[in-house]
Structures are given as structure tokens and as C-alpha cells.
Amino acid sequence: MHIPSTFSGCAEGDQDWYELFSRGARDWLRHNEKVRQAVRDKLPEVLASADILGGEKGRTIKVPVRFLEHFRFRLRDPDEMTGAGQGDVGPGDRLARPGQQQGEEGPGQGGNEDGGVQLVLELKIDDIVDWLWEELKLPNLQAKSGATHDDDYTREGWSRRGVRSRLDRRRSLKESLKRRSVDPAGPAFVDDDLRFRQLVRRRQPATQAVVFFAMDVSSSMRDRDRQLAKTFFFWVVEGLRRQYTHLELVFVAHTVKAWEFPQEEFFQVRGSGGTVASTAFNLVREIVAQRYDPSRYNIYLFYASDGENFKDDNGPARAALGEMASVASFLGYVETPATAEQALQTETAAIFRDAIDSCPGGAFALTTNESVWDAIRAFFRDQVAAGGG
Amino acid sequence: MAAAIERYGQQLEGLARAQGLDFYPVQFEEVPDSFMMEVAVYGLPVRMPHWSFGVRYIYQLIQHRMGHSRLFEVVFPGNPGRAYLARGNSLQENTLVVAHVLGHADFSKHNELFRRSQQEGGYRIVDQAASHARQIAAAMEEHGQERVERVLDAALALEAHIDVFRGLRRERYAEYTAVRTIEDDTFRRRFHQLPGDERPAPSHEPRQRASIPPHPEHDLLWFIAQYAPELEGWERDIFLAVREESFYFYPVFACQIMNEGWASYWHARLLREADFLPQHEYLDAIKTHSDVVRPHAADRQASLAINPYHLGFCLWESIIEEHGLEQAFRIRNQDDDFSFIRNHLTEKLAEDLKLFRFKASRDGAVEVVDREINALRDAILAPRYNFGAPAVAVRNLDHDGTLHLVHEHASDGRGLDLGRATRVLEYVHRVWRRRVVLETIDARGAAHRIEVPAPD
């Protein structure tokens, strides 16, 4: 006697059940997590090439990535593949190759290669800085120690009197409950139950900073050099944002003269003629004197150059920078030499090295996208050493 | 619809049995498209989680959205068998699909490869795979996702590297081999029998430690599970779970042409004889049939791939026509795709089907070469040898625990893709935990050795 087969249908509503527990979606999400991890491991390549400063800052960047491949043993691609086909053709005929190859598929069906699908990963800039922090094992940056403090209101304690907007309802209800547990017949609220938040003026460590980006825009600075400097600046700012609640940016470009520019125009500025670095340092000093009191602001100066400077200007530049060193929290020198061997051998680099003796700072050579990354790391490390020390 | 298809299904079943088909009962279940898609991706209704399935899933989803692929049914052999029907199927399509599934059910009950794999697997692969999935979920809970994934990366990468001829259940190698001593040779034995030359009785049986493995071992999953120096118990279980599923997949893979052809032949024949079907339903069902078994897309002159449904269908039709049903049943029992194609794809049939061999060079140019029958059979079968994977075997297990793998490039015709091979060795190294070495040849045919970790 044969047992008959059975049939069962499924109700409309069941669809949701399957979708909720989709194993395919679960494994797909896991894949994406791994992609994220892989991107994180290769941050330097990914980030240095992304055009991050351009465009409006949506606080995310988009990175195109490939699907991960689960590797298997496979024969090398032959110079010539032989296969079997079917159709109305004769020996010697040439055929158009369709998109898909006859697969060498393993057990349990495989997908073909990319298939024209591209995955775009959206990364939060904050996440990236977090990763960087984790990777460098940096402690949280500390504010500049010293006399600089902000006065600010802080919440502190409760009072029985106050304006209605500061009423703490949870507290007040607690008081009411306490009272009514003794006197269950009492009214819901009496004036004595009410609690108001109290504000007190407290001195806070300074959390504001100004970052000067000065750049040599003379004709010897190439587009690539600017791009490298720009990438570096961007990540420096992102790192500093962690440290300071108020961060102001000032952009100074110079050739034989120096000008202040808004951020949008700064990286497009193109000058001609020679390089007189002291003009930039002097302009920075003027701006500091007018707008940023060193006792209230942490001052960062970054100067990007290909290292060339007028010989006659080395003296004035040294002097101007020396003055800056006495007020600045950090002096950064970013050089974009033509080759890695020449990096930081220039007179400008020497000037900075001298200035850094009396002030925290660092000199960074940017030659390739990877070196930008190294420089950013080095900067954060120096920064922690300076700020935490 | 469930009622209608149930009625037709029972009638089709009676018809199939009357024609001589014999199968375990099948549990049909109608499921949503999304579920069908997952079953197609994982190969089993519930299977262990791994990120690589996620990638396949997305490709499948995209193909599905673009309308390139349509899944009508998925069937799992066993007692009872299980079949899932896509809910999007029309009644006519489902009528065809039920007949098709009965063909599969008959095939998997009688074909030797399927029978053996099911005997070993206990006729309940679907439940086993689900319990593997649970076991792996539990391992993740206990040891963390990362560690479990590391094991799965290695085990699934070696998924195709089993040895079906040695079977699923295997003993470890004998630890000692008998030693042929010098006393064994005939002259000496007789000499010692001469009076006055008594030799002392051997104090113990002469034996020596056998080398591991005693022969090139192709079942990499088994070998690693048994002999990895520091594999933990739960890691071994994962390797064995993957291996068990591979043994299940092998017959499906090695009989694809026969199996799909057989099911297509029977759905066509059963529908033809199903006089209980209204005329228009029969026509719709037959139209679906011709979509499934068409050789290539209608708008193309030729296809660079052969539709296994079509090829198998035509082969079975010609076999039954020429040799009768009895002979066809015998072939169903005994053959796999290799013998099936070699024995039954005749020159005439290949010509009727307009099969050809082509060469595709790297620059994308494709040229039709010939229709020579032996070369053609080889071209069809080449991607199916050895579970579709390169022949990689364990050659030796060193005293320091180094795993020596060797790629048998002579039988594969060319060397391995070195980049991928290195990545696979990295997976393996993470569970083997000692040095892993693989020998193959490079593009110029010179011996090439990959070591992980790389030598200094």
C-alpha cells in the first residue's frame, strides 16, 4: 500500500513570517558588516582617494566597494576556454559572448561574478574618527591646561522655588508620592511637592580653539599637492572637533603676499610668483591679535608648502614663527615634496623644527595617499602627547 | 487552489505508478517566492548561516527582480520527500511541477548514487541540515561569531573536497602497517626451516607506524576533522556537518542532466496521458514545459551553455524510443552524468541537437570549433568532474604538524589560481594552526609552492 503524498498551501499572511526570518537577509547583513570591517582595515586607501572636503558635508562619505569573495580553490583562467554550446552554427563561426560564462560552479549553486552590481557603503565621518581613535589607542584628548576657562551655567541640585520651565516633574511626583504614602487622603499636589532645577554658574575648562590653515599657493604647488594637503587638513579638523566644543577655522593663502579666504574658496585659490612664508605667519599673528585672545583660545597653525621659500625671507619667517610658538598650542608643518627622499630637508622645514623646540608641533611629509594617512596618525599621536602631557 | 492541485496531484500520482514509477511519498508545500529563493541559494530549506550565502542571495534577488530567473519548485529526496512549490505558480504550472517532482522522487529513490548517499544520510537530510544549523547557532552563542565564522570560512571553502568513493562513514587510518622483514622472503624462510638453525621467536609482531595519510587523501574535510593537530571538538563538528551536507549535494551535482531530464520526460509524458486535465489547462502546462526545456533563448541564434533540462530530456526520449522503458529504468538506476553522456549521447543525437564545441579566448572572441563527438562529451563533462573543483589532495602530514597539500595539475590540465589558493590556505591555516603548504604549477608550468604563513 502506498502512502499518498500530502499537499499544504500557505495563507496570505505567512509571507510576513518568512520575511521576518529571512536567512538570506541575515547573511547579507553579516556580509555588509564584514565589508565595513574590510574597509576599516584599508582606510588609508579608501579615504585618501575620496573627495571628502568637496561638496556639502553630510557628515558621511560614500565609498564604492566590491562584494567580498569567499575564496575557493579554482583553476587559473586558461588562455583559451573550451566549452559546449548549442545552436545553429558551423565550425569557424564567430559568436558574440553573452554576459555570463558557463560556470564552474561548486556544490549548492553559486552566483556569477559581480554581475554589474555595485555596493556603495556610506560611512559616518564620526565612525571613521572613532576607528582611528581605537586603532591608535588614543586616550580622549584633553583640553589645554592652564588659566583659560569659560563661565557657563550648569544644572546643579533642586530648589522649591523657580520658574515653571524648570519644573522637574519626575522629582515633584516623587515628593507627592512620599507625602501621600503617609497621608493617603491628601491632595495630588501641593506647592511643597514641587521641585525646580537649579542653575549655577561654574567655571569650565576652555573648549574653544581656532585652527589656522596656511598654504603656499604659488605656482610651484601642484594640484596633487593641494589635494594631499586638503585631505590632511580635513582629518585634522575632524580629530580636533572631538576635543573642542567650539572650533573655528581660518584659511590663509600666500604667495609673496598673504590673504584670508573663506573655506569654500581656499582650495581653489591659485597664485603666481614666488613664496614668502613670513607674510602668512604675520597675517596669522595679526588675526590672532585682533580676534583670538590666546588666553581664551587654543591656537593651532598648520602650514602646507612644497618647502620652497625665498632665501631672504628665511630670517623674517623664523622670527614670525618664533612669536607664534609662544602662543600656539600646536605648530604643524606639512610638506609635499616631489619625492619621498627629499622630504623635510628644506629650509622651511628647518625653521619649523626650531620653532617646535619651544612649542608642541610636528612636521609631516605628504607624498602619496598612504603617507597622508601616516601623517594623520602621527598628528593625533603628537597631539595626544602634547595635550595629555 | 490547494484543493485543485491536490486532486490533480493524486491523479498524477496514480498515473505515475501505473507507468512504473516508484517513489516515497512527497510532502508538497506551497511557499512564498522569497522562501523559494532562499532554498535555491542555500541548497537546503534550513542551513547553517554564513556571509557567503548572503552574497549569493543578493545576486538571486537581483536576477529575480529583473525577471531573469524563475523558480517553480525545489525538491529534496528522502522518505518522505519534500517539495516546495512557489506560491506565484498558476494552477497549470503547478500541475506540471507536481508531475516533474514525481519524476525526481522516482529518480532519487532508485539511482545508485542517490540511494547510497541517502542510506548513509538516513533519508532525512532536511532535518539534519536544520540540526546542523542549530548546532552552529549554539556554537556562535558559546564561542562567538568570529571564531565560528573562521571555521566555516575554511570548511565551506573546501566544501567540494570530499571523496565520495570512500564514503561518508570512515575509520581513521590504521596506525601501523605490517613490516615485510628480510625473513619473509621464500628462500630464507626455507633456509631457516633446515634443522640446526632455529631462529629465536620474535618478541612482538614486527610493525611500523604508518605514514599519514597512507595514500593521497582527497577528502580534505574529513582529513582536517580527523588529523588537525589542535582542532577543538566543536570545530570538528562543524567540519563534519559541512562534509555531511556535501555528501548529500554530490548526487544532485553528478546526476543533474539525468535527473532533470528524467523529471522533464515524465512531466511531459504524464501530462500527455492525463485525460482528467481540461484541454486549456493541458495546453498551458505544456507551454510551461516548452519554456523549461528550450535549448536557448529564442532571440539568440546559439547559446554558449547547454540547458541540462533540454539535453537530459532529449537523451531520455531517444533512449526510451530506441531501447524501451525497461532499459531506461536500468540506466536510471546505474548511471551518473558521466556514463550517461558517454554512453548515450550519440553522434546522431548531438547532430540533431546542434551541439558544438567552442573556444573562447581571453579577449572575448568566441569561435565554434567542431562537433566531434568525443571532444564534445568531454566539453560537457569537464566542469563536472571532481565535484567541479580542482583535484587537491593531502600528500603528507609532517612531524612538526605541517600539512602538505598537492594539486594534481596533470589531471586538471593547468595550475591553480594562485591568489585564490593562497586565500584558501589562509582559511585552512586558521583552523589547522600549523604551517600549511600547497604545491601546484604557475602560468608557465613551473612548480610553484605556496606556504602559509609565508616563509621568511
List, in order, residues 6 or more apart from A242 with CB less than 8 Å away: A129, A133, A140, A141
Residue A3 lies inside a defined structural domain of this protein: no
**Quick one: pLDDT band at residue A112, thresholds 50, 70, 90?**
very low
The phi and psi torsions of A263 (rounded to 5 degrees) equal -55, -40
Residue A80 lies inside a defined structural domain of this protein: no
Query: Stretch A170-198: mean pLDDT, rounded?
Result: 90
**Short-list A168, A169, A189, A167, CA closest to A178:** A189
Q: To the nearest whole angstrom, how far is the Cα of A105 from the nearest Cα of chain B?
A: 6
Residue B301 lies inside a defined structural domain of this protein: yes
Cβ contact B368–A111 (<8 Å): no
Residue A9 lies inside a defined structural domain of this protein: no
Give one DSSP letter per residue of B197-228, joined into a string: -PPPPPSS--EEEPPSSSS-B--HHHHHHHH-
Q: Are residues B375 and B403 in the same domain?
A: no
Residues of A in contact with B48 (CB under 8 A): none
Q: Are residues A311 and A377 in the same domain?
A: yes
Residue B225 CA to residue A383 CA, distance in Å, equals 51
Residue B424 lies inside a defined structural domain of this protein: yes
Residue B375 lies inside a defined structural domain of this protein: yes
Residues of A in contact with B412 (CB under 8 A): 75
Query: Stretch B52-78: mean pLDDT, rounded?
Result: 83
Residue A35 lies inside a defined structural domain of this protein: yes
- Distance from the first to the final alpha carbon of chain B: 68
Sign for the pseudo-dihedral over CA of B212, B214, B218, B221: negative
Residue B390 CA to residue B388 CA, distance in Å, equals 7
Could you say which of B362, B389, B416 is where a domain stops? B389
Query: Is the pLDDT confidence value at A131 over 60?
Result: yes
Query: Is the pLDDT confidence value at B299 over 50?
Result: yes
Three-state SS at B271? helix
Query: Is the pLDDT confidence value at A87 over 80?
Result: yes
Cβ contact B41–A70 (<8 Å): no
Cβ contact B380–A104 (<8 Å): no
The phi and psi torsions of B164 (rounded to 5 degrees) equal -65, -25
Q: Are residues A285 and A322 in the same domain?
A: yes
Q: Are residues B411 and B355 in the same domain?
A: no
Q: Are residues A175 and A233 in the same domain?
A: no
Q: To the nearest whole angstrom, how far is the Cα of A11 from the nearest Cα of chain B?
A: 9
**Whole-number pLDDT of residue A324:** 86
Question: Could you tell me if A215 and A304 are in contact, meaning their C-beta atoms sit under 8 angstroms apart?
Answer: yes
**Short-list B55, B141, B140, CA closest to A29:** B55
Q: What is the ipTM of this complex?
A: 0.88
Residue A245 lies inside a defined structural domain of this protein: yes
The number of helix segments (H) and strand segments (E) in chain B equals 18, 12
What pLDDT digit, counting tens, does each position of B390-404 carry?
999 999 999 899 999
Of the two residues A342 and B201, the one the predictor is more confident about is: A342
Across chain B, what does the average pLDDT equal? 89
- Distance from the first to the final alpha carbon of chain A: 88
Peptide bond into A91 cis (omega under 30): no
In DSSP terms, A253 is beta-bridged to A215, A259
CA distances from A316 to A214, A217, A338 (A): 16, 19, 26
Residue A355 lies inside a defined structural domain of this protein: yes
- pTM for the model stands at 0.73
List, in order, residues 6 or more apart from A268 with CB less than 8 Å away: none
Instruction: Choose the weakest-confidence range: A26-35, A41-50, B270-279.
Output: A41-50
Residue B289 CA to residue B294 CA, distance in Å, equals 8
Query: Stretch B287-308: mean pLDDT, rounded?
Result: 78
Query: Is the pLDDT confidence value at B279 over 60?
Result: yes
**Short-list B167, B171, B152, CA closest to B238:** B152
Looking up cell 570538528 gives B236
Q: Are residues A228 and A264 in the same domain?
A: yes
**Quick one: pLDDT band at residue A147, thresholds 50, 70, 90?**
very low
CB nearest B361 (choices: A10, A22, A79):
A79
CA distances from A362 to A302, A350, A356, A374, B378 (A): 9, 12, 7, 13, 67
Residues of B in contact with A97 (CB under 8 A): 304, 360, 364-366
Query: Stretch A166-185: mean pLDDT, rounded?
Result: 91
Could you say which of B369, B389, B409 is where a domain stops? B389
Give the range of the structural domain holding residue A201, as residue numbers without chain letter: 151-205
**Whole-number pLDDT of residue A101:** 41
> Cell numbers at residue B355, please?
551541439
- Catalogue the long-range contacts made by B283-291 (C-beta closer than 8 Å, 24 or more residues apart): B284/B90, B284/B92, B284/B93, B285/B92, B285/B93, B285/B95, B285/B96, B288/B72, B288/B92, B288/B93, B288/B96, B289/B96, B289/B264
Residue B283 CA to residue A355 CA, distance in Å, equals 91
Residue A64 CA to residue B91 CA, distance in Å, equals 44
**Whole-number pLDDT of residue A388:** 45
CB nearest B390 (choices: A31, A75, A83):
A75
Query: Do the strands A208-216 and A298-305 form a parallel or antiparallel pair, or are they unpaired?
Result: parallel
> What CATH number is associated with residue A255?
3.40.50.410
> Which chain A residue's Cα is nearest to B246?
A107
Could you say which of A164, A183, A205 is where a domain stops? A205
> Which chain A residue's Cα is nearest to B417?
A76
Residue B113 CA to residue B336 CA, distance in Å, equals 8
What pLDDT digit, counting tens, does each position of B316-344 carry?
999 999 999 999 999 999 999 999 999 99
Residue A25 CA, chain-centre distance (Å), reads 30
Q: Are residues A279 and A189 in the same domain?
A: no
CA angle B355, B360, B365 (to 5 degrees): 115
Q: Please name the amino acid found at residue A134.
A: E
**Whole-number pLDDT of residue A44:** 64
**Whole-number pLDDT of residue A114:** 45
Query: Stretch A144-156: mean pLDDT, rounded?
Result: 60
Give one DSSP letter per residue of B11-78, joined into a string: HHHHHHHHTT-----EEEEEE-HHHHHHHHHHSSSS----HHHHHHHHHHHHHHHTT-----EEEE-S
Q: Structural domain tally of chain B?
A: 2
Query: Stretch B125-152: mean pLDDT, rounded?
Result: 94
Q: Are residues B365 and B418 in the same domain?
A: no
**Whole-number pLDDT of residue A118:** 67
Residue A281 CA to residue A289 CA, distance in Å, equals 12
Q: Are residues B309 and B345 in the same domain?
A: yes
Residue B4 CA to residue A272 CA, distance in Å, equals 85
What's the length of chain B? 456
Residue A105 lies inside a defined structural domain of this protein: no
> Which of A76-90, A248-262, B139-153 reaches the highest mean pLDDT?
B139-153
Cβ contact A76–B443 (<8 Å): yes
**Short-list A336, A243, A249, CA closest to A284:** A249
> Cell numbers at residue B375, please?
571532444
Residue A109 lies inside a defined structural domain of this protein: no
Count of CA atoms in the C-beta half-sphere (13 A) of A255: 11
Q: Are residues B416 and B395 in the same domain?
A: yes
Q: Are residues A227 and A128 in the same domain?
A: no
Q: Structural domain tally of chain A?
A: 3
Q: Are residues A156 and A215 in the same domain?
A: no
CB nearest B34 (choices: A19, A101, A112):
A19
Question: Could you tell me if A82 and B359 are in contact, meaning their C-beta atoms sit under 8 angstroms apart?
Answer: yes
Residue A364 CA to residue B328 CA, distance in Å, equals 79
Cβ contact B416–A108 (<8 Å): no
In chain A, % of residues over pLDDT 90: 10
**Quick one: pLDDT band at residue B432, thresholds 50, 70, 90?**
very high
**Quick one: pLDDT band at residue B362, thresholds 50, 70, 90?**
confident
**Whole-number pLDDT of residue A111:** 37
Query: Is the pLDDT confidence value at B50 over 90?
Result: yes
Best residue in B10, B51, B242, B257 to probe A by mutation, most A CBs within 10 Å? B51
Residue B418 lies inside a defined structural domain of this protein: yes
Q: Are residues A212 and A193 in the same domain?
A: no
**Quick one: pLDDT band at residue A109, thresholds 50, 70, 90?**
very low
Question: Could you tell me if A361 and A339 are in contact, meaning their C-beta atoms sit under 8 angstroms apart?
Answer: no
Residue B99 lies inside a defined structural domain of this protein: no
**Whole-number pLDDT of residue A2:** 62
Q: Please name the amino acid found at residue B276.
A: F
Q: Are residues A374 and A303 in the same domain?
A: yes
**Short-list A114, B391, A172, A119, CA closest to A180:** A172
Cβ contact A111–B360 (<8 Å): no
Query: Stretch B359-380: mean pLDDT, rounded?
Result: 89
Question: Could you tell me if A117 and B62 are in contact, meaning their C-beta atoms sit under 8 angstroms apart?
Answer: yes
Give the range of the structural domain holding residue B439, as residue numbers without chain letter: 390-452
Looking up cell 622630504 gives A343
> Cell numbers at residue A208, please?
574653544
Q: Are residues A66 and A160 in the same domain?
A: no
**Whole-number pLDDT of residue A266:** 79
Q: How many CB pairs under 8 A join A and B?
A: 294
Q: Are residues B382 and B301 in the same domain?
A: yes
Query: Is the pLDDT confidence value at A146 over 80?
Result: no
Cβ contact B417–A75 (<8 Å): yes
Query: Stretch A267-286: mean pLDDT, rounded?
Result: 84
**Whole-number pLDDT of residue B202:** 61
Query: Is the pLDDT confidence value at A107 over 70?
Result: no
Peptide bond into B80 cis (omega under 30): yes
Peptide bond into B213 cis (omega under 30): yes
Query: Stretch B203-227: mean pLDDT, rounded?
Result: 87
CB nearest B2 (choices: A7, A32, A92):
A7
> Cell numbers at residue B132, please?
546542523
Query: Stretch A121-126: mean pLDDT, rounded?
Result: 75
**Quick one: pLDDT band at residue A372, thresholds 50, 70, 90?**
confident
Q: Are residues A235 and A379 in the same domain?
A: yes
Of the two residues A173 and B1, the one the predictor is more confident about is: A173
Q: Are residues A170 and A250 in the same domain?
A: no
Of the two residues B312 and A40, the one the predictor is more confident about is: B312
Torsion of CA A111, A113, A118, A120, to 10 degrees: 80
Please classify residue B429 by burial: count the beta carbons closer than 10 Å to its beta carbon, then call 0-12 exposed, 13-18 middle and 19+ buried.
Answer: middle
Q: Residue A363 belongs to what H/E stretch?
A: strand A361-365
Question: Could you tell me if B29 and A82 are in contact, meaning their C-beta atoms sit under 8 angstroms apart?
Answer: no
